[in-house]
Structure 1
Amino acid sequence: MSWRRWLLVGVLALGLLSALAVFGRALRHSEAYFHYPRHQAVRPADFDEAQDVSLRTEDGLTLRGWYVPSRNGAAVVLAHGLSQTRADLLPEAQILRAAGYGVLLFDLRAHGESEGAFSTWGDLERRDVRAALAFVRAQPDVDSERVGALGFSIGSAAVAEVAATDPGVRAVVLLSPFNTLWLAAAYDFRRFGAVSQAGALVPFWRRGIALDEVRTIDAVERIRPRPLFIVMGTEESGQPLADELFAKVREYAQTWRIQGAGHGNFSVTEPEAYPRRLRDFLDAALLPRGSAASEAR
């Protein structure tokens, strides 16, 4: 074999080894997303009126949560993000509770005190959101025609998908949503193209997660004309994707990109404007005009 052929073989072998290394590194990093520590939610002392509740999903899992009864006849289901618990949405829950809303905080599958082997980033969590909505609608303090849903990150993906097929969700708040589950899994691994992105997707494929079914950017079209509010931070990754989502909903949804905010914790970045805008949005969507509750606002 001539030296040219040896050189070609060497270059090809080096390229293959490099590709395998990139693939394997992406796979390991992506796999780590499924091995987060499971913390137990701690209920703060000023949330003592919240009731401990259990939800049962259609695939037989038990989810744990807290429910604060409604004082105005309306209620909101809140779904948290990856590696979090119900307690991570306590700032939003406190805002809504103070305004008289019933609030259901619950641990998504494979989080906190809920059952489940692993998160599916919004795929099977659709079942969790449906169980939460069924629970709230069955409460005697709630008008089932005045129920909304709020989700953060993977919770927003599940909320958007459920609301797209359930017209009874009368108002939708999406905090830090991703456009599609495929992009959420692969976007941060795009540096080396298809090789690194394929490696990042392997942990999802082997768990049977429906990457092609969870598409917030399509679900928002099926939510309209119901009220929709999307909030993101300017410091979150994927700003070009946020541009695309915001442009799509510009004509029919409220949007807010909070300057200086990262992935969540919006009440810290905007301690006055964020509670006010969240309340105003839900009041307009869920409280009938002329009611005592809306007049009090």
Structure 2
Amino acid sequence: MKWRRVVVAVVALGVLATLALFARALRHSEAYFHYPRVAPERPADFADAQDVRLFTSDGLELRGWYVPSRNRAAVVMTHGLSQTRADVLPEARILRDAGYGVLLFDLRAHGASQGETSTWGDLERRDVRAALEFVRARPDVDPAKVGALGFSIGSAAVAEVAAKDKDVRAVVLLSPFNTLWLAAAYDFRRFGAITQTGALVPFWRRGIQLEEVRTIDAVDHIRPRPLFIVMGTEESGQPLADELFAHVREYAQTWRIQGAGHGGFATVEPTEYPRRLRAFFDAALLGGGEGSAANPAP
């Protein structure tokens, strides 16, 4: 009888440990959906930007800034989780100063836009479509010269939309994730299915379609249009970055910025990053050349 009590105790401890690991992963993952909502601050050099309202297919109002184009081309710019349109100002300045129209907007459940929760690129696809519709209707923009740029979860939404919308003529993905499932579960892989399942529960309970957001598949449908992917060497998930970069090697430009983390590329590479970003869009939207061919970089 004694050995039976020992077995029961060991099993009970195992179950408790499993439940504790599951609950801890769930709690940490749930925290991703509870971030402070802050209003974007308009910088002085964007004082003349137009305040705009975008309306999504599911009835949300999104707020943004638009700077009109001086070269008939424009770029829709999409931020990451817990950010606002102000977080893509470094990229917007680079392109605005080169004559591009730039639309910066707050994704649903961020900044001044409506919405109750982020869906990490799932429903944000509707936000990107609304932004593209706005830009293409502008009298200063040639609809055949419209590109899109996204960071992190914004890159997921941009990639998915561009994969189906062939009129998105050029795409820049900053710090993308391969699949939404991996973005949600990768950092919880240490204890396998126990913690990864716990991490996915907050996504499932919100009805987020994890299986439908797959950047690593979407990029294949963007080709042969120009595609530029940028990541930092200090971001988590470097093996996943290796996989993505190898996947697109034959048809996309890539750049892994030494010493950069999750974003902040203009700070780490204040000269080369603006040069490459502008050169990509110049070639892709204003003429042929560098932006339309694969050009892998370290």
Which letter maps to 1:228? L
CA-CA distance at 1:289 after TM superposition: 5.9
2:11 and 2:198 map into 1 onto residues whose CA distance is: 20
1:10 and 1:270 map into 2 onto residues whose CA distance is: 57
Deviations 1:129-154 (A, max 9, x none): 00000000000000000000000000
- 5 Å-filtered alignment, 1:221-240, equals 221-240=220-239
CA-CA distance at 1:223 after TM superposition: 0.3
Match of 2:91 in 1: 92
Query: Is residue 292 of structure 2 the alignment partner of residue 288 of structure 1?
Result: no
Match of 1:47 in 2: 46
1:20 and 1:289 map into 2 onto residues whose CA distance is: 57
1:215 and 1:228 map into 2 onto residues whose CA distance is: 16
Match of 2:213 in 1: 214
Which letter maps to 1:154? I
Match of 2:2 in 1: 3
Match of 1:184 in 2: 183
Deviations 1:207-264 (A, max 9, x none): 0000000000000000000000000000000000000000000000000000000000
2:14 and 2:69 map into 1 onto residues whose CA distance is: 62
Match of 1:145, SS state, is helix
1:194 and 1:7 map into 2 onto residues whose CA distance is: 26
1:183 and 1:106 map into 2 onto residues whose CA distance is: 26
CA-CA distance at 1:120 after TM superposition: 0.1
Q: TM-score, normalised by structure 2?
A: 0.96
Which letter maps to 1:272? T
Query: Is residue 149 of structure 2 the alignment partner of residue 143 of structure 1?
Result: no
CA-CA distance at 1:288 after TM superposition: 3.2
Match of 1:79 in 2: 78
Match of 2:62 in 1: 63
* Runs of at least 5 residues in structure 1 that lack an aligned partner in the other structure: 291-297
1:262 and 1:119 map into 2 onto residues whose CA distance is: 22
Match of 2:127 in 1: 128
1:63 and 1:116 map into 2 onto residues whose CA distance is: 9
1:222 and 1:175 map into 2 onto residues whose CA distance is: 18
Which letter maps to 1:66? W
1:223 and 1:5 map into 2 onto residues whose CA distance is: 61
**Size of the alignment, in residue pairs?**
289
CA-CA distance at 1:4 after TM superposition: 1.1
1:203 and 1:74 map into 2 onto residues whose CA distance is: 40
Structure 1 residue runs of 4+, over 2 Å off? none
RMSD (CA atoms): 0.9
Which letter maps to 1:212? E
Which letter maps to 1:3? K
Q: TM-score, normalised by structure 1?
A: 0.97
* Runs of at least 5 residues in structure 2 that lack an aligned partner in the other structure: 290-298
Match of 1:116 in 2: 115
Deviations 1:185-216 (A, max 9, x none): 00000111100000000000000000000000
2:48 and 2:228 map into 1 onto residues whose CA distance is: 28
2:220 and 2:2 map into 1 onto residues whose CA distance is: 60
